[in-house]
Amino acid sequence: MLTGAILRDVTLRDGLQLTGKVLPTERKAEIVRELLALGVPELEIGSMARPDLVPPMANTLELVAELTPDELARSWVWVATPRHVEKAAAAGVRNFQYCFSVSDAHNKANIGRTTEDSLAAMPDAVRIAQEAGGRIQLCLATAFTCPFDGPVDPQRVLAIARDARAEGAADIVIADTLGQAHPAQVTSLISAVAASGRWGTPEHRIVFHGHDTWGMGVANSLAAIAAGARVVDGSLGGLGGCPFAPGASGNTSSEDLLFGTRPEWFTPDTLAALVPISERLLAELGEPNRSRVAEGSRSKADAFEWVIRTQE
């Protein structure tokens, strides 16, 4: 496993939210159980976003009700306000990803408030999460570029990361929402966050959330790991993107990230089980499979142990 980093699969949140389709609750639960059974350490399973704005997230709390406490202990839900945390906690959620954008323009488009307003509300979100016995992450979207304002000043990211109002967060998520960053940028920003004095430890992890819009998803994720990230986000087949960020296409493929990082639990047999799970879901959604590893696994290079051999 590359420097101890783990994968969080975000298919059921960031993966689904651009599809426009509501996957049935029982189907979502099936995917949760399939991925956890294979060994995927953590999942992002849904969002408290308004159903009229992000329809695929409409049954998030129904999914939460279907899962066991052990399954929920490995699952994260996206929230943007203290009220979101309160509603999710009442439903049984214990892992909350409190997300807002570094750029005001995107935060207003995505959440309807300024970045400062979101940061000011975070202590209440932290308090509610902790009173429920849960954990909360600080998630910074548009940490590299904004679809409306262009490049984002790294100092703005670091100022939020160091802000006392975020001290209750367990982890910090640095998101390349548009997939426009390159590895040197990722190395620089993740290293700076790690050097800020709080983040980058087992207790306060740095999470890198990358997109593969410009083909740098895996390269950027590996750069983030080398710079101190302990978790990287991916989705099955590279599914997903942000509906409020023009130009944000699919996430980095979970299959590609696993093949690149090689955690101990990920074997050729695991890949052979994972690829059909991904293929079935993408076929149901009518979405393309953007995973290069999935493509390679279906090749005829039979001498390579990672190729999936069909039964004769």
Closest CA to 102 of 146, 136, 168, 137: 146
For residues 247 and 217, is the Cβ–Cβ distance under 8 A?
A: no
Give the C-alpha separation, 260 to 257, whole Å. Answer: 5
For residues 169 and 137, is the Cβ–Cβ distance under 8 A?
A: yes
Give the C-alpha separation, 150 to 239, whole Å. Answer: 24
- Could you say which DSSP state residue 309 is in? P
In the numeric block, which tokens belong to residue 280? 């079935």
The SS3 of residue 189 is: helix
Give the C-alpha separation, 274 to 225, whole Å. Answer: 23
Q: Which amino acid is at 9?
A: D
Our answer to whether residue 146 is catalytic in this structure is no
Parallel, antiparallel, or unpaired for β 42-47 and 75-79? parallel
Burial (CB count within 10 angstroms: exposed 0-12, middle 13-18, buried 19+), residue 154: middle
Give the C-alpha separation, 280 to 282, whole Å. Answer: 6
| Dihedral of alpha carbons 24, 30, 263, 310, sign | negative
Of 99, 139, 146, 242, catalytic: 242
Q: Which amino acid is at 109?
A: A
Catalytic residue annotation:
242
